[in-house]
């Protein structure tokens, strides 16, 4: 497996965590379509004019990072990677003037994306209601997507927003530092215990608070995997402040 993760021209080398620890994400976090939607929104792309080469490269970079950290991906992610790579190849083929005009190859990606976004939007609306009978709904007093912290508005964070935050933290570590998991390295399970102790004392912490300024790449990756595992185990909820973008972890 290639351990190089490259994004916007910067290189970060990551390696497998100790004890071959794997985080199973299926059924907990989003799937490949959510990653595409995340990339489109992050890059402020027009869904009808997607730069296929760029979004393919970024998609593969996310997969490479998750695989390097031993995050176990569902097969759907790899199928989408193959689809994007094939579409990228088609877009690179030269167009001859004497050939009949064909449908934009990107429509094979745009159509399912639009359908998925519509279905997800409808599902989110239904998730905000309680089913009382066959055709009777009522709104919940609070939704899982938003958390009230004083007068601040928080929105639930997904896997890919966490990866973006993780990338910003690990980018501050010297690129010359190599991954070195030793016998003295803390395990993911031990790091979960430490985070639980912090949250029991404080109730909530910001994402960056869990990463010490002097932390090594090994420590940063173990902490990130511990956070993913805690979300899977429903030990914490992760939310982002709408105005500032600060990510905060809440103990459940």
> What does DSSP assign to residue 48?
T
Q: How many domains does the chain have?
A: 1
Q: What is the pTM of this model?
A: 0.69
Average pLDDT over residues 92-116: 79
Contact (Cβ atoms closer than 8 angstroms) between residue 49 and residue 59: no
Question: Beta-strand (E) ranges in 126-235?
Answer: 129-131, 137-139, 146-149, 152-156, 204-206
pLDDT tens readout for residues 209-251: 998 777 788 888 899 999 998 988 889 999 988 888 899 999 9
d(CA 134, CA 136): 6
Domain containing 117 equals 4-251
H or E element, residue 163: helix 159-170
> What does DSSP assign to residue 180?
-
Q: How would residue 3 be classed by pLDDT, with cut points 50, 70 and 90?
A: very low
H or E element, residue 13: strand 10-13
Range in 111-125, 157-171, 192-206, 230-244 the model is least confident about: 111-125
d(CA 129, CA 142): 10
Contact (Cβ atoms closer than 8 angstroms) between residue 115 and residue 127: no
Question: Residue for token digits 């970024």?
Answer: 58
Range with the largest mean pLDDT of 124-133, 140-149, 193-202: 193-202
The helices-and-strands tally (H runs, E runs) of the chain is 7, 11
Burial class for 203, CB neighbours closer than 10 Å (0-12, 13-18, 19+):
exposed
The whole-number pLDDT of residue 21 equals: 57
Q: Which residues contact 211 (CB under 8 A, 6 or more apart)?
A: 169, 219, 220, 223
How many Cα atoms occupy the beta-carbon half-sphere of 127 within 13 Å?
10
Q: What is the 3-class SS of 122-154, one letter each residue?
A: HHHHHHCEEECCCCCEEECCCCCCEEEECCEEE
d(CA 221, CA 105): 38
Q: What is the CA radius of gyration of the chain?
A: 21
Q: CA-CA-CA-CA torsion for 23, 26, 32, 37, nearest 10 degrees?
A: -90
pLDDT of residue 140 exceeding 50: no
Range with the largest mean pLDDT of 8-22, 27-41, 223-237: 223-237
């Amino acid at each position: 497996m290639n351990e190089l993760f490259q994004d916007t021209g910067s290189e970060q080398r990551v390696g497998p965590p100790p004890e071959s620890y794997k985080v199973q994400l299926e059924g907990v976090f989003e799937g490949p379509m959510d990653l595409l939607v995340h990339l489109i929104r992050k890059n402020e792309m027009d869904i009808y004019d997607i730069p296929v080469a760029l979004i393919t490269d970024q998609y593969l970079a996310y997969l490479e990072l998750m695989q390097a950290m031993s995050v176990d991906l569902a097969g759907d992610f790899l199928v989408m990677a193959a689809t994007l790579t094939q579409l990228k190849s088609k877009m690179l083929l030269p167009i001859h003037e004497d050939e009949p005009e064909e449908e934009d190859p990107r429509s094979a990606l745009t159509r399912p994306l639009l359908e998925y976004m519509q279905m997800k939007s409808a599902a989110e609306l239904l998730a905000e209601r309680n089913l009382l009978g066959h055709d009777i709904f009522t709104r919940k007093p609070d939704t899982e997507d938003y958390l009230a912290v004083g007068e601040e508005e928080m929105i639930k964070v997904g896997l890919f927003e966490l990866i973006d935050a993780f990338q910003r933290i690990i980018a501050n570590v010297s690129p010359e530092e190599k991954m070195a998991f030793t016998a003295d390295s803390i395990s993911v399970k031990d790091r979960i215990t430490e985070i639980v102790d912090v949250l029991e004392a404080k109730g909530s912490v910001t994402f960056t608070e869990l990463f010490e300024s002097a932390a090594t790449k090994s420590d940063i990756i173990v902490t990130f995997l511990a956070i993913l595992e805690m979300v899977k185990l429903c030990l914490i909820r992760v939310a982002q402040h709408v105005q500032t973008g600060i990510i905060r972890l809440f103990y459940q």
